[in-house]
Amino acid sequence: MSNTQKTPDDYIKDALNRYAQARAEGAPGEALVWLGTAAILDSDTDRADPCSPVNTALFQMAYDAACDSERRVLKCGNVTTRSGELLSYSADAADILLTRLDDNAPEAARSVAIVLKGHFDALFRRFARHYDPQLAMRLTLTSGADAKFCLDTCRAVRDLIAGVDGLDVKTAQDPLQRQYLLHICVTSPRYEASARFWTFLNAWDKALFYIEGAQYLLDEIKASPAMQSDTKVKAVADLTTALASARAIALAQDTSKAKQAFRNMADKCNVLIGDQRHMHMSLDF
Number of CB atoms found within 10 A of residue 98's CB? 14
Each of the 285 residues of the chain gets a pLDDT tens digit; together they read: 456 788 888 999 999 999 999 999 999 999 999 999 999 999 999 999 999 999 999 999 999 999 999 999 999 898 988 889 889 999 999 999 999 998 899 999 999 999 999 999 999 999 988 888 776 545 567 899 999 999 999 999 999 999 999 999 999 889 999 999 999 999 999 876 555 544 444 588 999 999 999 999 999 999 999 899 999 999 999 999 999 999 999 999 998 999 899 999 999 999 999 877 666 555 554
Angle value at C-alpha 23, between 20 and 29, nearest 5 degrees: 115
Number of CB atoms found within 10 A of residue 90's CB? 26
Transcribe 217-244 into DSSP letters: HHHHHTTSGGG-SHHHHHHHHHHHHHHH
- Residue 121: what residue type? D
- Residue 274 — φ and ψ, nearest 5°? 85, 165
Domains of the chain: 8-162 (no CATH), 175-273 (1.20.120)
- Residue 58: what residue type? L
